[in-house]
C-alpha cells in the first residue's frame, strides 16, 4: 500500500477509534491556546514546556517469582539468543528460529553437526545462513484477562502503566482544559468493555502515540538441511557459547533407503497453551514424560497475546526449554489471527511451517511426513472473507486434494489431520461451531482414510469414537480435542452437553497433554494425561487455582462422567481389511521430488563408495607399475646376464606385447605369489 494512502488509512482509523471512545485522543480546542501562554494580542508568550515523559517500560505485574522469570527481558537483550524453537520445514530439514535485540553479523551462521550417532560417525560441522526480520505492532488489548489474570497468567498488564502509555500529554497540568488527560484505565477502556457484547473486540492505543508502538526483537531463522532422520544434531547459534541438541524426525523410507535407528513414532500434542501457571506444568509434563517425541504438535492458540504484543516474546521464552529440543508443528487458532490482523503478523514472523516443502501456497496449511505418519495441518480460518470459521477456502481445498493424492500408505500408513476448531466436541459453548468446515471437508478426509484428527479451541479434553457425519463409523477418524494446554478463561467453557452425545467417548474439563504412539502400520496408542485440575476459590468464580494432586484431583465444576480420571488411553487400529478407505494412497514420489539428500546417509555411503573406487584404482596403477618395473629390471638384468635371461621365459610373451598389460592381465596376476 502506498505511504500516502497508508497515512490516510491510519488517520481515518485514528478518527474512527476516537469516535468509538476506546482510545485516548489528545484534543486541542480552537482558540484554546489563548487560555494559557498566548497574550491577548496573539503573540505567543514564553512557555516553559516541561520535559516529555520518558519512554515508559511496559508495565508488568509479576505476581510470583516464576512469573517474574517469564517476564525477564534479559533473554532478548543484546545478542544473546532467546525464544529458540525448532520447526520441521521439510524432509530431513529443521528451521531454527530465535530472537535477539541486537543484530547478528552479516555473515553469521548457525553451526550444526551430527553427534552421539551410531557407527556412521560424524560427518563434520556444517553452517546454515541466517536471515533476520522484525515488525512493529500497535499495542492493543483484546481480552479482559490481560488485566484480570487467571491462573497466574503472564504477563498481566498494569492498568496504571497503560494509563501512562495512553497519556500523550503527560506534561500538561491535570486541570488543563485544552487537553484530555488520562487519569484512569476507564479513560482508556470503558468499565465493562470486555464483559459486554460483542465479545470479540479490542482497544488499541492511539496510533499517533509513539509509546503505543511495539517493536519486535530481531527474529532470526536458519534452516539446517539434509539431516539424517533419527540422528542427534547439535547446533550453535550466533552469540551463544553453548550448543543445543535435538533429534531429527525420522525420514520415511520413500525418501531415504538409509537405515534409521527407530522402531516407533511418538507425537506429543498440546493446544491452547497461553502462558499461565498451568501452561508451565503442562509443558514440563511433556518435557519430562514425552521427551522421546519426534515432533510436538500444537493445535493452535499459542501465545494468547490478544493484541498485547510483548506477550509473544514472553510466550517464546516460556516455550524455549521444550521447543529448542523437540521440533514443533503448529496450526493457527483464532487468537493467532485476530485483533486487526496483528496476531497473524506475529505468528507468521515467528512460526514457520513446512508449507514450501509440501507445495502449499500458504504458510498456514501444510503437510509433513515422518516416521509412519503423514501429518496435514489445516487453517480453520482459511478465508476470512467468507466467514471466520470457514475452513473450506478454495486454495486450501485444492492443495489438500493434491496433498492427499501424494500419499503412499506403504510408507506413511497413518494420516493425521490437525486444525484448530473441532468438528466433534460436546461443549455447550462450541458444539457445532465449525459446521461449515465440517460439511466442506469431512467427506474429503473420510474418503482419504484419515485416521486421527487433532484439534484445540475448547479448553478441555475430549476424544470421540471413530465417527463420520455424527454417526459411529469404524472407518472414520477419531477426533481428539486437546485444547487444555493451560490458557485459562474459566472451567471448560460453558459446560458439557447432557446427555453425552453418542460420538463422544471421553471428556474432561481439566488440563493436560496427549501422546500418539504409532507402533506399526496397524496399531497406535493414544494417551491423554492430565497435569492439573482447578477449583474456584471465590464466590464470583473469577479466579481459580490448582486443586490437589493430578492423580486424584477434580476440576470443579466438571460434571463429566470421567471428571475424576487422570488418564485416558485408547488403542487405535487401522483395519485395512474392513475399511477400503484406509488403503487409499499409493502415489509415487521419489527422493528427488522431496529434495532430500540425507547428509550422512546417502552422502556417507557415496563417500565410502568413491573412496573405495579411488583406493582400488590407485592400487591397480601401483601394481601395474610395480609389475612393469620388476619386469623391466629383470629384463634388463637378464639382458646383462644370460644366466638370468635363461630363467625369465615366463615374462617374455607379455613383454612382447608391451603396453598391453590391462586389467585382465593384472587380475589374473593378483593371486600370484609373485606379488
Ligand atoms: Fe481457539
373-377: strand order across its sheet: 366-370, 373-377, 414-418, 452-455, 478-482, 461-464, 504-508
Q: What is the pLDDT of residue 277?
A: 86
Q: What is the pLDDT of residue 357?
A: 96
The mean pLDDT of the chain is: 77
**Which domains can be identified in the chain, with CATH numbers?**
3-75+136-215 (no CATH), 79-135+216-248 (2.60.40.380), 266-594 (3.60.21.10), 602-670 (no CATH)
Per the CB < 8 A criterion, the answer to whether 482 and 269 are in contact is yes
Q: What is the pLDDT of residue 169?
A: 59
Helices assigned H by DSSP within 40-188: 65-71, 159-166
Q: What's the 101 CA to ligand 1 centre distance in angstroms?
A: 30
Question: Which comes out higher in pLDDT, residue 404 or 555?
Answer: 404
pLDDT tens sequence across 125-181: 899 999 999 998 888 998 888 887 777 777 778 888 888 788 765 555 656 665 667
- Average pLDDT (535-563) is 79
Q: What's the 336 CA to ligand 1 centre distance in angstroms?
A: 8
Is 430 one of the catalytic residues?
yes
Q: What's the 642 CA to ligand 1 centre distance in angstroms?
A: 101
Q: Is 548 left (phi over 0), alpha (psi -120 to 50) or beta?
A: left
Band of residue 43 on the pLDDT scale cut at 50, 70, 90: very low
pLDDT tens sequence across 198-213: 887 889 888 777 778 8
Q: What is the pLDDT of residue 31?
A: 30
Pairing state of beta strands 511-518 and 265-270?
Answer: antiparallel
Statement: residue 7 has pLDDT above 60:
no
Q: What's the 333 CA to ligand 1 centre distance in angstroms?
A: 5
Least confident of 219-233, 250-264, 400-414: 250-264
Statement: residue 297 has pLDDT above 80:
yes
Statement: residue 607 has pLDDT above 70:
no
Q: What's the 246 CA to ligand 1 centre distance in angstroms?
A: 29
Statement: residue 68 has pLDDT above 60:
no
Q: What's the 87 CA to ligand 1 centre distance in angstroms?
A: 21
Least confident of 94-103, 323-332, 394-403, 658-667: 658-667
- Average pLDDT (530-557) is 79
Question: Which comes out higher in pLDDT, residue 37 or 258?
Answer: 258
- Average pLDDT (409-433) is 95
Statement: residue 641 has pLDDT above 60:
no
Q: What's the 287 CA to ligand 1 centre distance in angstroms?
A: 24
Band of residue 536 on the pLDDT scale cut at 50, 70, 90: confident
Q: What is the pLDDT of residue 623?
A: 75
Q: What is the pLDDT of residue 194?
A: 87
Q: Is 21 left (phi over 0), alpha (psi -120 to 50) or beta?
A: left
pLDDT tens sequence across 238-274: 989 899 999 999 988 777 666 565 578 999 999 999 9
- Report the percent of the chain where pLDDT is more than 70: 70
Q: What's the 93 CA to ligand 1 centre distance in angstroms?
A: 29
Q: What's the 301 CA to ligand 1 centre distance in angstroms?
A: 5
Q: Is 400 exposed, middle or buried (0-12, 13-18, 19+ CB in 10 A)?
A: buried
Separation between Cα atoms, residue 12 and residue 22, nearest integer Å: 15
Most confident of the ranges 168-177, 546-555, 586-595: 546-555
- Catalytically annotated residue among 255, 298, 374, 430: 430
- Average pLDDT (313-340) is 92
Least confident of 498-512, 567-581, 584-598: 584-598
Q: What's the 168 CA to ligand 1 centre distance in angstroms?
A: 34
Statement: residue 70 has pLDDT above 50:
no
From 406, 404, 482, select the one nearest 446 (Cα to Cα): 404
User: Which grid coordinates belong to 603?
Assistant: 552422502
Q: What is the pLDDT of residue 329?
A: 98
Q: What is the pLDDT of residue 128?
A: 97
Amino acid at each position: 500500500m502506498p505511504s500516502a494512502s497508508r497515512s490516510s488509512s491510519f488517520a481515518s482509523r485514528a478518527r474512527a477509534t476516537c469516535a468509538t471512545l476506546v482510545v485516548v485522543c489528545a484534543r486541542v480546542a480552537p482558540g484554546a491556546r489563548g487560555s494559557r501562554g498566548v497574550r491577548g494580542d496573539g503573540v505567543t508568550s514564553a512557555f516553559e514546556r516541561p520535559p516529555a515523559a520518558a519512554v515508559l517500560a511496559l508495565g508488568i505485574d509479576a505476581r510470583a517469582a516464576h512469573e517474574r522469570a517469564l517476564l525477564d527481558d534479559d533473554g532478548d537483550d543484546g545478542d544473546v539468543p532467546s525464544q529458540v524453537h525448532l520447526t520441521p520445514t521439510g524432509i530431513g530439514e529443521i528451521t531454527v528460529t530465535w530472537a535477539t535485540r541486537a543484530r547478528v553479523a552479516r555473515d553469521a551462521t548457525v553451526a550444526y553437526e551430527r553427534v552421539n550417532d551410531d557407527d556412521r560417525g560424524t560427518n563434520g560441522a556444517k553452517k546454515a545462513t541466517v536471515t533476520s526480520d522484525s515488525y512493529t505492532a500497535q499495542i492493543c488489548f483484546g481480552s479482559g484477562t490481560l488485566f484480570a489474570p487467571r491462573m497466574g497468567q503472564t504477563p498481566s498488564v498494569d492498568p496504571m502503566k497503560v494509563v501512562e502509555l495512553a497519556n500523550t500529554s503527560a506534561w500538561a497540568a491535570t486541570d488543563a482544559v485544552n487537553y484530555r488527560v488520562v487519569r484512569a484505565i476507564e479513560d482508556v477502556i470503558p468499565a465493562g468493555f470486555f464483559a459486554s457484547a460483542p465479545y470479540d473486540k479490542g482497544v488499541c492505543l492511539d496510533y499517533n502515540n509513539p509509546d503505543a508502538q511495539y517493536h519486535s526483537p530481531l527474529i532470526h531463522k536458519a534452516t539446517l538441511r539434509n539431516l539424517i532422520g533419527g540422528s542427534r544434531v547439535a547446533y550453535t547459534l550466533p552469540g551463544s557459547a553453548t550448543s543445543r541438541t535435538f533429534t531429527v524426525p525420522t525420514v520415511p523410507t520413500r525418501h531415504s533407503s538409509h537405515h534409521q535407528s527407530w522402531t516407533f513414532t511418538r507425537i506429543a500434542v498440546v493446544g491452547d497453551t497461553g502462558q499461565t501457571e498451568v501452561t508451565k506444568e503442562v509443558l514440563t509434563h511433556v518435557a519430562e514424560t514425552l521427551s522421546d517425541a519426534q515432533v510436538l504438535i500444537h493445535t493452535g492458540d499459542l501465545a494468547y497475546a490478544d493484541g498485547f504484543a510483548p506477550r509473544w516474546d514472553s510466550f517464546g521464552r516460556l516455550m524455549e526449554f521444550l521447543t529448542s529440543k523437540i521440533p514443533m508443528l503448529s496450526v493457527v487458532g483464532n487468537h493467532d489471527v485476530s485483533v486487526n490482523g496483528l496476531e497473524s503478523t506475529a505468528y507468521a514472523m515467528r512460526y514457520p511451517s513446512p508449507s514450501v516443502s509440501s507445495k502449499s501456497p500458504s504458510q498456514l496449511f501444510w503437510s509433513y511426513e515422518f516416521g509412519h505418519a503423514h501429518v496435514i495441518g489445516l487453517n480453520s480460518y482459511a478465508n476470512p472473507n467468507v466467514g471466520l470459521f470457514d475452513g473450506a477456502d478454495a486454495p486450501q481445498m485444492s492443495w489438500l486434494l493434491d496433498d492427499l493424492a501424494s500419499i503412499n500408505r506403504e510408507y506413511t500408513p497413518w494420516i493425521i489431520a490437525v486444525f484448530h476448531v473441532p468438528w466433534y466436541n460436546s461443549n455447550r459453548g462450541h458444539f457445532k461451531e465449525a459446521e461449515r468446515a465440517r460439511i466442506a471437508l469431512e467427506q474429503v478426509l473420510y474418503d482419504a482414510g484419515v485416521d486421527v484428527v487433532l484439534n484445540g479451541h475448547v479448553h478441555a479434553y475430549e476424544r470421540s469414537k471413530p465417527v463420520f457425519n455424527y454417526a459411529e463409523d469404524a472407518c472414520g477418524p477419531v477426533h481428539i480435542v486437546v485444547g487444555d494446554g493451560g490458557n485459562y478463561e474459566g472451567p471448560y467453557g460453558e459446560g458439557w452437553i447432557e446427555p453425552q452425545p453418542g460420538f463422544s467417548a471421553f471428556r474432561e474439563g481439566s488440563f493436560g497433554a496427549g501422546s500418539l504412539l504409532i507402533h506399526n502400520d496397524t496399531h497406535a496408542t493414544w494417551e491423554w494425561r492430565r497435569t492439573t485440575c482447578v477449583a474456584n476459590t471465590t464466590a464470583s468464580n473469577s479466579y481459580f487455582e490448582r486443586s490437589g494432586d493430578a492423580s486424584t484431583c477434580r476440576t470443579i465444576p466438571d460434571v463429566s462422567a470421567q471428571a475424576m480420571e487422570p488418564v485416558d488411553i485408547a488403542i487405535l487400529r487401522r483395519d485395512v481389511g474392513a475399511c477400503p478407505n484406509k488403503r487409499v494412497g499409493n502415489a509415487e514420489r521419489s527422493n528427488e521430488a522431496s529434495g532430500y539428500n540425507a547428509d550422512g546417509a546417502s552422502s556417507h555411503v557415496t563417500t565410502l563408495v568413491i573412496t573405495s573406487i579411488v583406493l582400488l584404482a590407485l592400487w591397480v596403477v601401483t601394481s601395474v607399475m610395480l609389475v612393469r618395473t620388476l619386469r623391466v629390471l629383470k629384463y634388463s638384468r637378464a639382458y646383462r646376464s644370460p644366466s638370468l635371461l635363461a630363467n625369465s621365459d615366463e615374462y617374455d610373451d607379455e613383454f612382447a606385447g608391451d603396453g598391453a598389460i590391462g586389467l585382465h592381465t593384472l587380475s589374473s596376476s593378483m593371486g600370484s605369489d609373485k606379488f
